[in-house]
């Protein structure tokens, strides 16, 4: 059973698969102690699903090995503002006492740290200078630390950051980890950056060990990458070359866009619809920064 459904089933939901769709229903949800740890860490979606359902379940729910990401804390703040009783969000142990009902509320969602990190890497790869507004560096300390080690200059600026880079990018070793470690959702983008570093870098994927489908596409663009199990060894090259490539998932799409920004010649990325799940009109945001990028309609 997928981890993100485990909590719902434990609370009493009846969950079935129907033609690829998940169908969940329940006459009543009842609080319970639930362990949400998995072989590669806690589940963010599972924690969010369970916490939301438990807010209206009967009795107390205790989530052990809960995900600690800022998005989980933000969801808890939102639910609490609606009348929920949630304690411990942002820690591995979350306690929810169910309430009878929730009420409407206005809430501003926290900034997307993965989108912010993607634009930081874009600035570094192009040797540009980009101001990212409404950015929370405190939510991405592992990312900021690793980018600074590479040679990226990140300075606070009135609720955001200004990002630039030195001409020389230093190779690094990085391992993806559950929050507050380096996020797996920036692994592909970081790999694109390290393709231009001056030396050998290693990227070890501890969350999704098979999340390296973008490697083959970066190789088509002239990258020098060797994969050994859950680790990719990236040897920096002087330049990337434009090529027809295919996006395999959301973050791979972003990595290929970043690579295309610095590649010599034209890069055509197929199946780019993946990127829309995590970025709102990314090409419209990159174009004012000087990118020569357009979306082609089928």
Per-residue pLDDT at 255 exceeds 80 = yes
Q: Which residue has the higher pLDDT, 120 or 7?
A: 120
Buried/exposed 239-275: b ≥16 CB within 10 Å, e otherwise: ebebbebbbbbbbbbbbbbbbbbbbeeebebeebebb
Per-residue pLDDT at 221 exceeds 80 = yes
Q: Report the C-alpha gap between 244 and 269 in whole angstroms.
A: 6
Residues 148-170 pLDDT 10s: 999 999 999 988 999 998 778 99
pLDDT tier at 296 (50, 70, 90 boundaries)?
A: confident
Residues 21-61 pLDDT 10s: 889 899 999 999 999 998 888 899 999 999 999 999 999 99
Tokens of 203: 């990227």
Per-residue pLDDT at 211 exceeds 80 = yes
Please report the pLDDT score of residue 269 as a whole number: 95
Q: Report the C-alpha gap between 178 and 161 in whole angstroms.
A: 24
For residue 272, what is the DSSP state?
G
Domains of the chain in start order, with CATH, are 3-97 (3.65.10.10), 113-289 (3.65.10.10)
pLDDT tier at 117 (50, 70, 90 boundaries)?
A: very high
Tokens of 38: 């998995």
Please report the pLDDT score of residue 38 as a whole number: 83
Residues 77-108 pLDDT 10s: 999 999 999 999 999 999 999 999 999 999 99
Tokens of 146: 């690793």
Residue 292 preceded by cis peptide, ω within 30: no
Per-residue pLDDT at 4 exceeds 80 = no
What's the mean per-residue pLDDT of the chain?
A: 94
Contacts of 273 (CB under 8 A, 6+ apart): none
Q: What is the pTM of this model?
A: 0.93
């Amino acid at each position: 059973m997928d981890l993100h459904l485990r909590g719902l089933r434990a609370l009493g939901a009846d969950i079935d698969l129907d033609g690829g769709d998940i169908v969940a229903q329940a006459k009543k949800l009842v609080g319970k102690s639930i362990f949400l740890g998995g072989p590669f860490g806690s589940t963010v979606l599972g924690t969010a699903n369970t916490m939301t359902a438990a807010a209206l379940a009967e009795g107390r729910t205790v989530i052990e090995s809960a995900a600690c990401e800022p998005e989980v804390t933000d969801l808890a703040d939102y639910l609490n503002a609606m009348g929920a009783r949630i304690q411990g969000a942002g820690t591995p142990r979350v306690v929810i006492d169910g309430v009878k009902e929730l009420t409407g509320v206005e809430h501003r969602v926290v900034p997307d740290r993965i989108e912010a990190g993607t634009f930081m890497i874009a600035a570094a790869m192009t040797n540009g200078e980009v101001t990212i507004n409404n950015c929370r560096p405190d939510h991405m300390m592992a990312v900021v630390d690793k980018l600074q080690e590479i040679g990226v200059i990140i300075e606070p600026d009135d609720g955001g950051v200004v990002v630039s880079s030195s001409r020389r990018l230093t190779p690094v070793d990085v391992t993806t980890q559950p929050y507050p470690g380096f996020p797996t959702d920036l692994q592909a983008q970081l790999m694109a950056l390290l393709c231009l570093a001056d030396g050998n870098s290693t990227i070890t994927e501890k969350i999704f060990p098979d999340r390296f489908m973008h490697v083959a596409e970066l190789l088509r663009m002239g990258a020098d990458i060797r994969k050994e199990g859950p680790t990719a060894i990236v040897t920096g090259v002087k330049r990337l070359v434009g090529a027809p490539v295919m996006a395999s998932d959301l973050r791979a799409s972003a990595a290929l866009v970043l690579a295309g920004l610095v590649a010599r010649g034209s890069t055509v990325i197929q199946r780019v619809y993946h990127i829309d799940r995590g970025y709102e009109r990314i090409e419209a945001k990159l174009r004012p920064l000087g990118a020569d990028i357009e979306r082609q309609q089928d």
